[in-house]
């Protein structure tokens, strides 16, 4: 047995931590089976001795165990030792450390400083200070932040490897500061430079490209803490003795790109800085230490192909749509100007196509000094797969590298299967998340938007948590969501809020759904504790805006955004009644608040929200369901929500399920859903005895489907089902991103249903594995790195044999449902292998007289045979109404069809065999 992955607040040996009561987590590996932790001991010490010793605690807690020792001191390193005992008599020890930061913003002694450069000056300000040291240095820590985004250099060396600090928060209330370890940077004579660009603080934002959302001057706050070997300390702080100038970065904007002039002389050198008063945004009480992982370069892509387009453009394809920038080497002439333009795709003729960027120009410009140089942007990023190079006569593709950046979250999920197109879909989901988790969960990384849309975040949160550890990422973003919430509980549509629009169902419900997903995934009660008032506030807002009938029937709603069941024109909300959606989410969020109250021991709240839920659910059912079990507005999304959110009367669920099946059949077994219905439709089918149909939807390759984009060469998830049309043209609404992750929410179904990995208790302390087969996939291999360790599920169904392999982490238990077997098996930790025979007939879908007309209509062979025999058969209103009828029921009304239908069934069943 051994202890591994010892973490403090989800981090290995963190520095700059300002949490007063940090939590410790660890994992255990063992070659034995059925291993449970029986006890633990935690010792925290500093250089003077122990500050906390739990002694031996007879508990199996190993996730987020809270520190209960002496009050932690600022800027101090603590040593951590954890010893664990198992139920078989084994012991293991792990060690680590954590280091506190300044602990609270008001402890900063530095001053905010800004510049007074010319208004028309677009170049980045560089704040600088020279200093001398004459002692041996033991350690150096830099605590820094900015209004704008910044980069630190000491003696012309960049400090750290991160980008876009301090990140995007609600600057009106919260500004992050970062801690850097800089032990090896100092010499006798030193110069520190902090370059600050506009970033989110004052740069162009939103589709209006509006600057100065938070202020019209960049500023910086920093302290350099030097500890010497002789025990003395020195602090260098930003103050009036610093100076400011501009250098080679002549402009830098997220949407527009960066201009770097190697020949630019330092301007305004020696100009004094302006010291700002501690008020408003400059109040140090707003400072918080870095909450999420920083943004880093996470992968580098060499040029895949160099080409000259029909328009004679010089283009490089990197083979993957990413967010980031390009690094390249060049030896140009002095004053030579090189422009790098960015685009997601080429048009159908093979020409460079930047139109999906809208007003985001996305051009990086470099002016050479005549030497051999390596260029890379500092303060911008782009969404692209292709670059167009201007100003270079000869292109050497090997000199160009695409650098993908995103928040540095650990990978936690893998999914592979026998279907190559599904594997590409999984890659597209992975990169859709990577490219849009750049400090905040953006809608897209390429065009003039890149905002933290709440709707996309909540529908994708479950999938995101399988693929990566999103605990810190979403904790930081949820803090901003709560800080942007109005006093009446209204939740903005984007976080941080730069639009000023509030309270729409499925968007604002991120306030409840995302914290609950985080709790279920990581077992983190603190997320619920910190967000609970925000969660309640949102539900109470909806309650306070209900009509006399008790339902929420007012205000702007996005509806089932971009659904295909309604002519779009200007209205993109789909055909589903938008207030049906609003009240479905009202109930969903109310139920989450009730469950959260139970977790937090708030019994009175749990009773209140539970009673309110039952009352509103009864009203909802009377409003939207008929006495015979039909539903008002039987769109795919309405029926899906009724099933997935458990909104229908129990007696009506089977009929609702049949109606969904019929509706899908009427669309030739395709979806017509948008942002609201798509995440849940396959879950609803699989959970209501229609898993085969879920598999049919999932593996469709024509429009609209997930694999349609894969067939068209997509490397990320599209915003629209038809972002690129079958003929190669582009959807021309002016809103057509090729990197939008909302429809990637199918990933959660892949992990839960195809791989079968599902939580029972929070954090997967107890879980079940229930793989579900679909025709078209013969094997699946998936894993999920839970907070207890790796959960693995593999299965294969081939040649009449089923094999299942599972891996259960130490300190957990699992229930395994073997495919096509009755009953369940309870398993402790360890690896297990099962092999048994299967009846191959179970893999074959049989069509009988009990099949529905909708099922038949969804089979191309059947549809073609019937339409040849009876032209226009499926277009008649009577036949479309009868999609939910079985063939037996249909023949009661039209007995003359019997010979034709029986012939069709024979052909179908022969072809299936």
What band does 846 get if pLDDT is binned at 50, 70 and 90?
A: low
> Do 352 and 445 share a domain, yes or no?
no
Q: Is the confidence at residue 910, as pLDDT, over 70?
A: no
Residue 799: which CATH number? 2.60.420.10
- Peptide bond preceding 704: is omega within 30 degrees of 0, i.e. cis? yes
- Angle between helix 454-467 and helix 510-522 axes, rounded to 10 deg: 10
> Do 557 and 645 share a domain, yes or no?
yes
Burial of 299 (0-12, 13-18, 19+ CB in 10 A): middle
Pairing of strands 413-417, 779-786: antiparallel
Range 158-181 average pLDDT: 97
> Do 112 and 95 share a domain, yes or no?
no
DSSP string, 131-156: EE--S-EEEEEEEEEEESEEEEEETT
Whether 419 is covered by a domain: the verdict is: yes
Share of the chain above pLDDT 70, in %: 97
Cα(346)–Cα(729) distance, integer angstroms: 11
Cα(83)–Cα(87) distance, integer angstroms: 14
> Do 514 and 557 share a domain, yes or no?
yes
Task: Pick the more confident residue, 852 or 171.
Answer: 171
Tell me what pLDDT residue 810 has: 98
Domain stop point among 99, 125, 140: 99
Tell me what pLDDT residue 275 has: 94
| 571-622 per-position pLDDT tens digit | 889 999 999 999 999 999 999 999 999 999 999 999 999 999 999 999 999 9
Tell me what pLDDT residue 561 has: 95
Whether 708 is covered by a domain: the verdict is: yes
Q: Is the confidence at residue 777, as pLDDT, over 90?
A: yes
Domain stop point among 32, 64, 99: 99
CB 789 within 8 A of CB 29: yes
Task: Pick the more confident residue, 264 or 391.
Answer: 391
Q: Which two tokens stand for residue 395?
A: 């292109």
pTM of the model: 0.91
Q: Is the confidence at residue 544, as pLDDT, over 50?
A: yes
| DSSP H helical ranges for 841-893 | 853-857, 860-869, 877-881, 887-893
Q: Is the confidence at residue 484, as pLDDT, over 90?
A: yes
> Do 132 and 84 share a domain, yes or no?
no
Cα(18)–Cα(104) distance, integer angstroms: 7
Tell me what pLDDT residue 120 has: 60
Cα(172)–Cα(164) distance, integer angstroms: 18
Choose among 429, 597, 453, 413: nearest CA to 515: 597
Whether 120 is covered by a domain: the verdict is: yes
70 C-beta neighbours (distance < 10 Å), count: 11
> Do 644 and 661 share a domain, yes or no?
yes
Q: Which two tokens stand for residue 505?
A: 């169902």
> Do 118 and 91 share a domain, yes or no?
no
CA dihedral 690, 695, 701, 705 (to 10 degrees): 60
Range 15-22 average pLDDT: 95
What band does 859 get if pLDDT is binned at 50, 70 and 90?
A: confident
Cα(628)–Cα(61) distance, integer angstroms: 50
Choose among 371, 16, 479: nearest CA to 225: 16
Choose among 202, 226, 217, 221: nearest CA to 287: 221
Choose among 713, 647, 650: nearest CA to 680: 647
Q: Is the confidence at residue 855, as pLDDT, over 80?
A: no
Whether 538 is covered by a domain: the verdict is: yes
Cα(328)–Cα(347) distance, integer angstroms: 25
The residues that bridge with 325 in the sheet, in sequence order, are 403
What band does 911 get if pLDDT is binned at 50, 70 and 90?
A: very low
The range of the structural domain enclosing residue 352 comes to: 296-407
Residue 734: which CATH number? 1.50.10.10
Least confident of 429-433, 439-443, 508-512, 871-875: 871-875
Burial of 440 (0-12, 13-18, 19+ CB in 10 A): buried
Cα(238)–Cα(272) distance, integer angstroms: 12
> Do 647 and 697 share a domain, yes or no?
yes
SS3 841: helix
What band does 117 get if pLDDT is binned at 50, 70 and 90?
A: confident
Tell me what pLDDT residue 881 has: 63
Least confident of 269-278, 410-419, 738-747, 838-847: 838-847
Q: Which two tokens stand for residue 792?
A: 């693995």
> Do 364 and 447 share a domain, yes or no?
no
CA atoms within 13 A on the CB side of 708: 20
How many domains in the chain? 6
Please list, residue by residue across 869-907, b when 16 or more beta carbons sit within 10 angstroms of its beta carbon and e when fewer do: eeeeebeeeebeebbbbbbeebbeeeeebeeebeebbee
Domain stop point among 257, 290, 323: 290
Q: Is the confidence at residue 912, as pLDDT, over 70?
A: no
| 354-374 per-position pLDDT tens digit | 999 999 999 999 999 999 999
> Do 341 and 207 share a domain, yes or no?
no
Which residue carries 């020195």 as its tokens?
234
Range 633-644 average pLDDT: 96
Residues annotated catalytic, as ranges: 449, 719
Whether 150 is covered by a domain: the verdict is: yes
| 53-93 per-position pLDDT tens digit | 999 999 999 999 999 999 999 999 999 999 999 999 999 99
135 C-beta neighbours (distance < 10 Å), count: 12
The residues that bridge with 388 in the sheet, in sequence order, are 315, 341
Residue 48: which CATH number? 2.60.40.10
What band does 717 get if pLDDT is binned at 50, 70 and 90?
A: very high
DSSP state for residue 724 in the 8-state scheme: B
Whether 848 is covered by a domain: the verdict is: no
Q: Is the confidence at residue 844, as pLDDT, over 90?
A: no
> Do 695 and 655 share a domain, yes or no?
yes
Mean pLDDT score across all residues of the chain: 94
Q: Is the confidence at residue 880, as pLDDT, over 70?
A: no
Q: Is the confidence at residue 769, as pLDDT, over 60?
A: yes
Residue 249: which CATH number? 2.60.120.260
> Do 654 and 561 share a domain, yes or no?
yes
Helices vs. strands in the chain: H and E counts, helices first: 19, 44
- Give the Å distances, CA to CA, from 748 to 242, 296, 540, 701, 784: 52, 26, 29, 20, 12
Which residue carries 């006798």 as its tokens?
188
Share of the chain above pLDDT 90, in %: 86
Q: Is the confidence at residue 908, as pLDDT, over 90?
A: no
What band does 236 get if pLDDT is binned at 50, 70 and 90?
A: very high
């Amino acid at each position: 047995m051994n202890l591994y992955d010892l973490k403090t607040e989800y981090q290995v040996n963190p520095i700059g931590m300002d949490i007063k009561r940090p939590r410790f987590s660890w994992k255990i590996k063992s070659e034995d089976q059925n291993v449970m932790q029986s006890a633990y001991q935690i010792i925290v010490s500093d250089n003077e001795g122990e500050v906390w010793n739990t002694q031996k605690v007879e508990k199996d807690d190993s996730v987020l165990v809270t520190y209960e020792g002496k009050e932690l001191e600022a800027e101090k390193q603590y040593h951590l030792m954890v010893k664990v005992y198992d139920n078989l008599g084994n012991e293991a020890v792990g060690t680590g450390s954590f280091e506190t930061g300044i602990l609270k913003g008001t402890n900063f002694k530095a001053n905010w400083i800004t510049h007074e450069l010319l208004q028309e000056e677009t170049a980045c300000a560089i704040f600088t200070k020279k200093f001398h040291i004459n002692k041996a240095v033991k350690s150096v820590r830099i605590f820094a932040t900015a209004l704008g985004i910044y980069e630190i250099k000491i003696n012309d060396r960049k400090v750290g490897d991160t980008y876009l600090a301090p990140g995007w928060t609600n600057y009106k209330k919260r500004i992050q500061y970062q801690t850097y370890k800089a032990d090896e940077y100092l010499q006798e004579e030193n110069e520190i430079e902090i370059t600050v660009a506009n970033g989110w603080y004052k740069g162009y934002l939103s589709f209006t490209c509006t600057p100065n959302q938070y202020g019209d001057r960049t500023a910086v706050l920093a302290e350099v803490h030097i500890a010497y070997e002789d025990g003395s300390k020195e602090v260098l702080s930003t103050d009036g003795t610093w100076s400011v100038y501009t250098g080679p970065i002549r402009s830098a904007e997220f949407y527009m790109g960066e201009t770097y002039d190697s020949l630019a002389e330092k301007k305004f050198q020696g100009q004094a800085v302006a010291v700002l008063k501690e008020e408003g945004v400059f109040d140090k009480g707003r400072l918080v230490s870095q909450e999420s992982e920083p943004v880093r370069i996470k992968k580098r892509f060499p040029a895949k192909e160099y080409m000259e387009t029909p328009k004679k453009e010089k283009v490089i394809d990197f083979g993957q749509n990413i967010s980031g920038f390009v690094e390249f080497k060049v030896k140009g002439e002095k004053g030579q100007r090189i422009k790098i333009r960015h685009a997601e795709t080429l048009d159908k003729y093979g020409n460079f196509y930047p139109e999906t960027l809208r007003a985001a120009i996305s051009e990086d410009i470099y002016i050479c000094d005549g030497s051999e140089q390596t260029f890379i942007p500092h303060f911008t990023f782009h969404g692209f797969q292709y670059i167009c190079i201007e100003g270079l006569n000869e292109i050497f593709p090997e000199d160009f590298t695409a650098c993908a950046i995103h928040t540095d979250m650990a990978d936690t999920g893998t999914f592979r299967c026998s279907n190559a197109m599904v594997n590409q879909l999984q890659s597209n989901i992975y990169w859709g998340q990577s490219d849009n988790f750049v400090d905040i969960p953006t809608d897209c990384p390429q065009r003039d938007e890149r905002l933290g849309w709440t709707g996309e975040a909540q529908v994708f949160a479950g999938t995101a948590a399988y693929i990566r550890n999103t605990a810190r990422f979403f904790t930081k973003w949820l803090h901003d969501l709560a800080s942007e919430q109005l006093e009446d509980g209204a939740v903005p549509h984007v976080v941080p809020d730069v639009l000023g629009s509030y309270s729409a169902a499925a968007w604002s419900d991120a306030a409840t759904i995302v914290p609950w997903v985080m709790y279920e995934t990581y077992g983190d009660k603190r997320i619920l504790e910190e967000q609970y008032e925000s969660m309640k506030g949102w539900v109470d807002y909806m309650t306070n805006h209900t009509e006399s009938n008790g339902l929420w029937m007012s205000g702007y709603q996005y509806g089932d955004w971009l659904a295909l069941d309604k002519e779009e024109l200007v209205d993109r909300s789909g055909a589903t009644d938008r207030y049906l959606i609003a009240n479905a989410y009202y109930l969903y969020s109310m139920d989450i608040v009730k469950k959260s109250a139970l977790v937090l021991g708030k019994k009175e709240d749990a009773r209140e929200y539970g009673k309110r839920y039952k009352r509103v659910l009864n009203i909802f059912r009377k409003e939207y369901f008929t006495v015979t079990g039909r539903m008002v507005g039987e769109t795919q999304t309405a029926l899906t929500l009724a099933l997935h959110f458990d909104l229908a009367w129990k007696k009506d669920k089977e009929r609702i399920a049949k109606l969904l099946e019929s509706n899908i059949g009427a669309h030739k077994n395709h979806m017509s859903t948008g942002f609201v219905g798509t995440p849940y439709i396959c879950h609803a089918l699989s959970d209501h005895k229609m898993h085969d149909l879920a598999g049919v939807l999932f593996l469709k390759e024509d429009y609209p489907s997930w694999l349609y984009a894969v067939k068209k060469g997509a490397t990320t998830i599209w915003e629209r089902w038809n972002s690129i049309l079958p003929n190669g043209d582009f959807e021309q609404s002016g809103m057509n991103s090729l990197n939008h992750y909302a429809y990637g929410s199918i990933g959660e179904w892949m992990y839960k249903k195809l791989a079968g990995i599902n939580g029972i208790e929070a954090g997967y302390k107890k879980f079940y594995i229930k793989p579900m087969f679909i025709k078209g996939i013969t094997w699946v291999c998936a894993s999920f790195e839970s907070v207890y360790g790796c959960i693995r599920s593999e299965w294969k169904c081939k040649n009449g044999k089923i094999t299942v392999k599972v891996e259960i982490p130490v300190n957990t238990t699992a229930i395994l449902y073997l495919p096509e077997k009755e009953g369940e098996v309870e398993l402790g930790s360890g690896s297990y292998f099962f092999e048994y025979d299967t009846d191959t007939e179970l893999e074959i879908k049989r069509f009988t007289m009990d099949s529905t007309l909708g099922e038949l209509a969804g089979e191309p062979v059947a549809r073609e045979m019937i339409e040849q025999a009876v032209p226009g058969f499926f277009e008649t209103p009577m036949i479309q109404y009868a999609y939910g009828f079985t063939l037996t029921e249909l023949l009661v009304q039209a007995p003359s069809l019997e010979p034709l239908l029986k012939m069709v069934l024979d052909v179908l069943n022969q072809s299936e065999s």
